Amino acid sequence: MIAHRSFKPIAILVSALLVATGFVALAAAPKAHAANAAQFDPGNIISDSVFYDFGTMTAVDIQRFLNSKLPTCNDNDGGPKCIRDFVTDTPAMTGESGRCESLPAMQNQTAAQIIYTVANACKINPRVLIVTLQKEQGLIQGANPTKRMYDFAMGMNCPDTADCARSSAGFFYQMYKGAGQLQWYGDPRGSFTYLRVGTNITRRHQAANVEASRGIDCGSKTFMLKSQATASLYYYTPYVPNEAAMRNLYGTGDACSAYGNRNFWRFYTDWFGNTIGGGFLLKSSDSGTYFIIDNNKYLIDDPDTVAALKPLGPLGTISQAYLDSFKDAGAMNRVVKSTAGTHFFVDGGKKYPFTNCTQAAQFGVDCATAVTLTSSQLSALVTGNNMTEYIQGENGQTFFIQDGLKRQILDNESLIDSRIGVPALSSVNVSAFKKMPWGKPIIRKGVSFVNQSTGGLTIYDGNLAYEVDAATAADVDFSIWFPKSTGTMLTEGLTAVASNIPMKTIVNSPDGTQFLITKEGKRRAAANQVLAKDAPVVSLELLSAIPDSPVPLADGFLARTSATGPIHLIEDGLKRPLLSSSEAGRVAVALPSNKIETISKSALAQISSGSAVVAPGSFVRLGRVNYLIDGFDRALIVANSNQAALLGLKSPRTLTTNQMKGYSKTARLSGIKFVCDARPFVAITGKLYPLSDIDASHYPGRGLALDAGTCANLPKSTATLGRFVRDASKKYYLVEAQSKRLIKNVAAYQKLKGTSTGSILVGPYFLSQIKTGAAAGSSISTEIFEPGVFIPGANQPSPSPSVSASPSPSPTVSTSPSPSPTVTRSPSPSPTVSRSPSPSPSPTISAKPKTYTVVSGDTWARIVGRLSVWGVTDAKLSAANPSVTNKNLIRLGQVLIVP
């Protein structure tokens, strides 16, 4: 095989003669997009990655390109049609290793189909074949080609020194054999190995026979060969263009100019972009991607735009030095324009026309930044429908573009409700606008829907979207109150309205009121009650859409999730499991209601876990110590069995450290006097006996205040205790001034008792707890015994309120038959009390204290009860202490103002 060149010596003649013989491509290209001769590298005319890339175009792409190059044909003279309309049958071909694959015979093949088929069979870029057809015969732009132009289309087997071989004549044979030869040049098994990549080679500027005929020596050029593809071009057309040919890139040079390889590079650059490493999309090994046009490079800063411009690729990698030879022209976005000024949005290899730049501004783009593409570049991008602001997403989702923001539309009902008129649905997908910010979605108020990104249910109150916690959604059907749309939303689409707060079963209103959401509606928690410490705050608009349950929750209650499930005490933001369901009744006595509420699993899970609950009044043992469970957080040490027997405590139940974890265990159970709900009691032989405040003051001690639940579960006597007790030997005692005074005989007892309450049988331990005083006399003192006026429920000597604010000596208290007692002051050192013939109400304490200090065992209700003797009510105490926002959270030592 000998070297090949451009078809005829005519290639070196003047341009007028070139036009006459069909070389119309040598006419000047538009200067705005002219190739830059300074970027021509004779050692790297085209890179291997471009030359051998057979997958750059489909048959449809090739046909579209041919149509763009020949808008009209002038081929009605009986000769062959121009290449865009050329059709012929093709024979079967047997493939040859290193050249081309075998091909079957086919009928009615267009030139585009033949180019595509040969490119794939011979593994040569179809763009290379197209350019070769143009530079050899001008076929791509030949409006009225001749038969000879088709017969020797590729210049295959057309040596410089002889006519073309008839054995290779015909368009198909030229294509198949020519492409095969270009492939074979790179096969080391052949004889074309003398041009080696990486070595300096020398190529002459003109054919020897031309030089001889003109008597000139045109000389040669030595350069480094940088690609096998460039070597193939020199095997095919052996001459390198001289400076005259490169100076007049779109015309003729001088008598020594040869144009084959120059024209190959120029046509390829004009039509398909850079020949080095890719099309119009190039990068260096460590740079961003650039769009190359003319001498300019436009930075493409995201891969989606690179993908959108794929038909203008492929993306090629070039040296940094070569990349630097192009002028930086700024960034390139998805908006391009034609030389006629039409603007397009580019996506998925297609171009979508904008109506005008005002519409483009809705998409957040400026027409002034659009890059102008050549007709060839634009023709490579298939034209789509006109751009509209109404665009589509995946799974039927739709979006509206407005003021540079994308707004997701939930459903058609929401679109109608918004009263926004939308145009026809665009073919462009929302994925083309990843960098566009999200605007407020178009969602109708009071609807629920699925978040496609998470799969979770979301409810919308008109301003904010709340995604429903999965556990809550399993327990509560929110679609009852928020009708469920068939549309879905993306998490990103909700950005402008996302509350970022999960909707849970227990929620807070903005004012702090908690609600439990049930299947029937919302149940209000008691005032200042905390059900769940982490309850999210939701809007009033959301809560108003959920109906109120007629039954609010009690301030502390028992709850379970099923009829047989474990029972928990719900109080102060904690769920505390009962040790046994059988204890529910004994626990409930300390609560406002004995009802066991059934709540959802998600509600129970939302409440923080606390320690176990032991029924108040239980007698338990931990290690070696016995305790009386007092309320829900205190265990009183029971020092001995006698003390236990006083309260009827028998056989302690052994518990573990973990079961007792929630109880303080420092206070001791002592004495015989106790206070329950501000009423005094004395423990005798396993029961609590009630007695009056006056009588209670004569028994020793100030009285240990017990929790209401503890009191309710301890045995109580129906009899009332007075001032008289007796032992098993029938000795009678008068309890007076916190001493026991022996009465000498029964008769004296009967006389002394008179009409007052009779004696109660007591045991020796009880008597041992009362100091012995002088023998009883013939009368009984009816005064309140002090030190310290007895304040109901007080059990500490120091923190209780002061009794008198008067500077005078101790007050004298007297009672009269009137409905309420009166207080009189006297200078006597101690108060005296006179009894009226009828039962007297409790005496009035001389002076009201200014403050009250909270002591162990106090509750708000107990404090009110203690201070009620001065007319203090719950409302008055609350008003005087506005800093107390949660009456369940008063603390030991806290000082309250007494109104």
- Binned at pLDDT 50, 70 and 90, residue 293 comes out as confident
- Please answer whether residues 780 and 752 qualify as being in contact, where contact means their C-beta atoms are separated by less than 8 angstroms: yes
* Amino acid 823: pLDDT: 33
> In the 8-state DSSP scheme, what is residue 93?
B
Average pLDDT for the chain: 88
Among candidates 706, 730, 693, 583, which has minimal Cα distance to 647? 706
* Amino acid 517: pLDDT: 98
- Binned at pLDDT 50, 70 and 90, residue 654 comes out as very high
* Amino acid 320: pLDDT: 86
* Amino acid 828: pLDDT: 36
Helices (H), 444-595: 470-475, 540-544, 584-588
**Averaged pLDDT, 283-301:** 91
- Please answer whether residues 336 and 315 qualify as being in contact, where contact means their C-beta atoms are separated by less than 8 angstroms: no
Q: Is 672 helix (H, G, I), strand (E, B) or coil?
A: coil
- Please answer whether residues 179 and 129 qualify as being in contact, where contact means their C-beta atoms are separated by less than 8 angstroms: yes
- Binned at pLDDT 50, 70 and 90, residue 856 comes out as low
CA distance linking residue 718 with residue 736, whole number of Å: 23
- Binned at pLDDT 50, 70 and 90, residue 34 comes out as low
Burial label, 94 (beta-carbon count in 10 A; 0-12, 13-18, 19+):
exposed
- According to the 3-state scheme, what is the secondary structure of 387-440? CCCEEECCCCCEEEEECCEEEEECCHHHHHHHCCCCCCCCCCEHHHHCCCCECC
CA distance linking residue 235 with residue 196, whole number of Å: 12
Number of helices (H), then strands (E), in the chain = 27, 47
Report the run of H or E that residue 612 belongs to, with start and end: none
* Amino acid 718: pLDDT: 95
CA distance linking residue 236 with residue 225, whole number of Å: 15
* Amino acid 26: pLDDT: 35
Inform me whether the pLDDT recorded for 33 exceeds 60.
no
- Binned at pLDDT 50, 70 and 90, residue 832 comes out as very low
Neighbours of 329 (CB within 10 A): 17
Inform me whether the pLDDT recorded for 210 exceeds 60.
yes
Return contacts of 786-791, CB within 8 angstroms, 24+ apart: 786/697, 786/810, 786/830, 786/831, 788/702, 789/845, 789/846, 790/680, 790/693, 790/696, 790/697, 790/702, 791/845, 791/866, 791/869
Stretch among 314-323, 367-376, 436-445, 501-510 having the lowest mean pLDDT: 314-323
Phi/psi for 328 (5° steps) reads: -65, 125
CA distance linking residue 159 with residue 425, whole number of Å: 59
Stretch among 396-400, 701-705, 859-863 having the lowest mean pLDDT: 859-863
CA distance linking residue 164 with residue 81, whole number of Å: 22
Stretch among 552-556, 567-571, 737-741, 833-837 having the lowest mean pLDDT: 833-837
CA distance linking residue 758 with residue 194, whole number of Å: 136
For a pLDDT cut of 70, what percent of the chain falls above it? 89
**Averaged pLDDT, 710-731:** 96
CATH superfamily of 796-805+847-899: LysM domain (3.10.350.10)
Helices (H), 589-729: 601-606, 641-646, 693-696, 708-713
- Binned at pLDDT 50, 70 and 90, residue 363 comes out as very high
Q: Is 820 helix (H, G, I), strand (E, B) or coil?
A: coil
* Amino acid 295: pLDDT: 81
Q: Is 453 helix (H, G, I), strand (E, B) or coil?
A: coil
CA distance linking residue 859 with residue 892, whole number of Å: 10
Among candidates 392, 489, 483, 499, which has minimal Cα distance to 442? 489
* Amino acid 824: pLDDT: 34
Which residues does 330 contact at the CB level (< 8 Å), separation at least 6? 298, 299, 369
- Please answer whether residues 339 and 372 qualify as being in contact, where contact means their C-beta atoms are separated by less than 8 angstroms: yes
Inform me whether the pLDDT recorded for 846 exceeds 60.
no
Inform me whether the pLDDT recorded for 467 exceeds 90.
yes
- Binned at pLDDT 50, 70 and 90, residue 676 comes out as very high
* Amino acid 472: pLDDT: 98
Tokens 């305790």 locate to 627
Sign of the alpha-carbon torsion through 729, 735, 738, 740: negative
Tokens 């406002």 locate to 592
403 vs 374 pLDDT, higher one:
403
Q: How far is CA 795 from the centre of its chain?
A: 55
**Averaged pLDDT, 214-242:** 96
Q: Is 365 helix (H, G, I), strand (E, B) or coil?
A: coil
Dmax (CA) for the chain in angstroms is 169
Residue 688 bridge partners (DSSP):
683, 716
**Averaged pLDDT, 411-433:** 95
Q: Directed axis angle between helix 228-236 and helix 171-184, to 10°?
A: 130
**Averaged pLDDT, 314-329:** 85
Fold agreement between 284-387 and 796-805+847-899 = no
* Amino acid 632: pLDDT: 96
pTM of the model: 0.62
Stretch among 362-366, 474-478, 860-864, 887-891 having the lowest mean pLDDT: 887-891
CA distance linking residue 604 with residue 516, whole number of Å: 10
CA distance linking residue 734 with residue 778, whole number of Å: 11
28 vs 224 pLDDT, higher one:
224
Inform me whether the pLDDT recorded for 802 exceeds 70.
no
**Averaged pLDDT, 492-504:** 96
- Please answer whether residues 791 and 703 qualify as being in contact, where contact means their C-beta atoms are separated by less than 8 angstroms: no
* Amino acid 745: pLDDT: 95
Among candidates 379, 380, 345, which has minimal Cα distance to 361? 345
CA distance linking residue 596 with residue 563, whole number of Å: 9
**Averaged pLDDT, 530-553:** 95
Inform me whether the pLDDT recorded for 811 exceeds 60.
no
- Please answer whether residues 367 and 345 qualify as being in contact, where contact means their C-beta atoms are separated by less than 8 angstroms: no
- Binned at pLDDT 50, 70 and 90, residue 109 comes out as very high
E runs forming strands in 132-171: none
As its CATH architecture, domain 284-387 has: 2-Layer Sandwich (3.30)
Phi/psi for 107 (5° steps) reads: -115, 150
- Binned at pLDDT 50, 70 and 90, residue 826 comes out as very low
Can you read off the two tokens belonging to residue 111?
């030139």
CA distance linking residue 253 with residue 241, whole number of Å: 9
Q: Taking CA 446 as the corner, what is the angle to CA 443 and CA 447, rounded to the nearest 5 degrees?
A: 60
Q: Rounded to a whole number, what is the distance in angstroms from the first to the last CA of the chain?
A: 120
Inform me whether the pLDDT recorded for 496 exceeds 50.
yes
CA distance linking residue 487 with residue 397, whole number of Å: 7
Backbone dihedral region for residue 857 (phi beyond 0: left; psi -120 to 50: alpha; all else: beta): left
Considering only CA atoms, give the Rg of the chain.
52
Neighbours of 137 (CB within 10 A): 27
**Averaged pLDDT, 169-176:** 96
Residue type, 360: A
Q: Is 627 helix (H, G, I), strand (E, B) or coil?
A: strand
285 vs 86 pLDDT, higher one:
86
Stretch among 250-264, 343-357, 516-530, 862-876 having the lowest mean pLDDT: 862-876
Among candidates 258, 112, 228, which has minimal Cα distance to 175? 112
* Amino acid 892: pLDDT: 64
* Amino acid 850: pLDDT: 85
- Please answer whether residues 608 and 533 qualify as being in contact, where contact means their C-beta atoms are separated by less than 8 angstroms: yes
pLDDT digits (tens, 9 = 90+) for 746-796: 999 999 999 999 999 999 999 999 999 999 999 998 888 875 333 433 343
Can you read off the two tokens belonging to residue 573?
């933001």
Domain positions in the chain: 1-24+34-276, 284-387, 391-494, 506-609, 619-772, 796-805+847-899
Burial label, 402 (beta-carbon count in 10 A; 0-12, 13-18, 19+):
middle
Q: How far apart, in Å, are the Cα atoms of 889 and each of 706, 854, 894?
A: 18, 11, 10
Residue 457 bridge partners (DSSP):
450
Q: Is 222 helix (H, G, I), strand (E, B) or coil?
A: strand
